Amino acid sequence: MSSNNLTSGENQQERLNPYWLVGFTDGEGCFSISIFKNKTLKSGFQIFPEFVLTQSAKSLETLEKVQSFFGCGRIYENKRYDNHRESLYRYCVRNKTDLIEKICPFFNKYALLTAKKNDFELFKQGLEIINRGEHLTDKGFIKIQEIASKMNRKKPRN
Amino acid sequence: MSSNNLTSGENQQERLNPYWLVGFTDGEGCFSISIFKNKTLKSGFQIFPEFVLTQSAKSLETLEKVQSFFGCGRIYENKRYDNHRESLYRYCVRNKTDLIEKICPFFNKYALLTAKKNDFELFKQGLEIINRGEHLTDKGFIKIQEIASKMNRKKPRN
């Protein structure tokens, strides 16, 4: 899986500096809570919290370093059909325990500096509701919907 | 110009950590050399090296911190007409001296970790040619064209 395309600078960081990782996340990271209809579940919905960092194939090695730093998450290849030469790779943490015990404590300690901090705060609120099992109640589900709607906001499609 | 939308975490970094800045650039930054036709110039072309960081309005304060950190560059508003609520802001360093004396030494000291490092190396090669005035010769101009074509590569449009 490793890419050899990266130029190795003499002063290249061997292990990730946590401030580099928080800056990289401010630039490129995404905290999201998605809600999908799923008829096989009692509630009829699946709630899907996720932390994602995306890079092109040439920077796959960087995502592998992030994966090794956090000690969790998986890297997925997304084939591209637009005008880019390379596949995209997505480093994703979806496991609730990893999100609560590894990802959140890191960004609690090393604060995000951009507005992504707001998404992270909402993400944590959502995770707490999920962790307490409250998303299975009507009230908790509505709360999750409200939180998800406030994150990564775009204008609603007409 | 300052935005008050940022939540201030207690452990929010007051001054930018250089590793945060290199991570942010790995995630979000762009080194580019553009070549425009310009009939008012003797060569017929204008060569335009630029370092850019882009954020939505909510994170304008972060770009202001970057501007203050580097002590150069300007922030421009780009109105958006897609499905986002906010304007984009672009922190741009276009001045050759600032690029050579402030931006390049920073990224020489704090190495980029993604494939953006390759763009930065090409960017420096281009800047050296421009700085020596060689871009005004046919040979130098062709070199700059080659360098620019290797940066931020997309498939050529049909």
Return the number of other C-beta atoms located less than 10 Å from residue A44's C-beta: 10
Rounded to the nearest integer, the mean pLDDT of chain B is 86
In which order are the strands placed within the sheet that holds B45-56?
B29-37, B45-56, B88-93, B74-78
pLDDT at site B12: 43
d(C-alpha B108, C-alpha B95), whole Å:
18
d(C-alpha B93, C-alpha B120), whole Å:
14
Alpha-carbon separation of residue B30 from A33, A71, A129, B158 (angstroms): 29, 29, 38, 24
Alpha-carbon separation of residue B107 from A13, A14, A61, B30, B101 (angstroms): 12, 16, 19, 13, 11
Buried b (16+ CB within 10 A) or exposed e, A120-141: bbbbbbbbebbeeeebeeeebb
Residue A3 reports pLDDT greater than 60: no
Q: Write out pLDDT tens, residues A32-70.
A: 999 988 888 777 888 999 999 999 999 999 999 999 999
* pLDDT-derived band at A31, boundaries 50, 70, 90: very high
Q: If you measure CA to CA, which chain A residue comes closest to B22?
A: A20
Quote the strand ranges of A9-127, DSSP E.
29-37, 45-56, 74-78, 88-93
* pLDDT-derived band at B8, boundaries 50, 70, 90: very low
**Cα dihedral sign for A102, A105, A108, A111?**
negative
* pLDDT-derived band at B157, boundaries 50, 70, 90: very low
- Smallest Cβ–Cβ distance between A7 and the set B6, B26, B117 belongs to B117
Ramachandran category for residue A65: left, alpha or beta (phi over 0 → left; psi -120 to 50 → alpha): alpha
pLDDT at site B39: 85
Rounded to the nearest integer, the mean pLDDT of chain A is 86
Nearest-CA distance from A34 to chain B in Å? 18
pLDDT at site A82: 67
Size of interface A-B (CB pairs under 8 A): 137
Cβ neighbourhood burial of B15 (10 Å; 0-12, 13-18, 19+): exposed
Q: If you measure CA to CA, which chain A residue comes closest to B56?
A: A115
Q: What is the crossing angle of helices A116-131 and A138-150, to 10°?
A: 170
pLDDT at site B69: 97
- Smallest Cβ–Cβ distance between B23 and the set A5, A22, A154 belongs to A22
Nearest-CA distance from A40 to chain B in Å? 33
A138 vs B104, which has greater pLDDT? B104
Q: Looking at beta carbons, which pairs linking B138-145 to residues 24 or more positions away fall under 8 Å? A: B141/B43, B141/B45, B144/B33, B144/B35, B144/B47, B145/B35
Q: Enter the ipTM.
A: 0.85
pLDDT at site A37: 87
d(C-alpha A51, C-alpha A60), whole Å:
17
B108 vs B37, which has greater pLDDT? B108
Inter-chain CB proximity A19 and B24 less than 8 Å: no
Q: What are phi and psi of A37, to 5 degrees?
A: -70, 135
Residues of B in contact with A59 (CB under 8 A): 114-116
Nearest-CA distance from A105 to chain B in Å? 13
- Smallest Cβ–Cβ distance between A9 and the set B53, B56, B117 belongs to B117
Instruction: State which amino acid sits at residue B158.
Output: N
Q: What are phi and psi of A29, to 5 degrees?
A: -80, 165
* pLDDT-derived band at B154, boundaries 50, 70, 90: low
A9 vs A131, which has greater pLDDT? A131
**Longest Cα separation, chain A:** 56
d(C-alpha A150, C-alpha A147), whole Å:
5
Nearest-CA distance from A97 to chain B in Å? 24
- Smallest Cβ–Cβ distance between B113 and the set A62, A83, A111 belongs to A62
- Smallest Cβ–Cβ distance between B27 and the set A5, A26, A65 belongs to A26
Residues of A in contact with B24 (CB under 8 A): 23-24, 26-27
Residues of B in contact with A22 (CB under 8 A): 20, 23
- Residues B45-55, mean pLDDT to the nearest whole number: 94
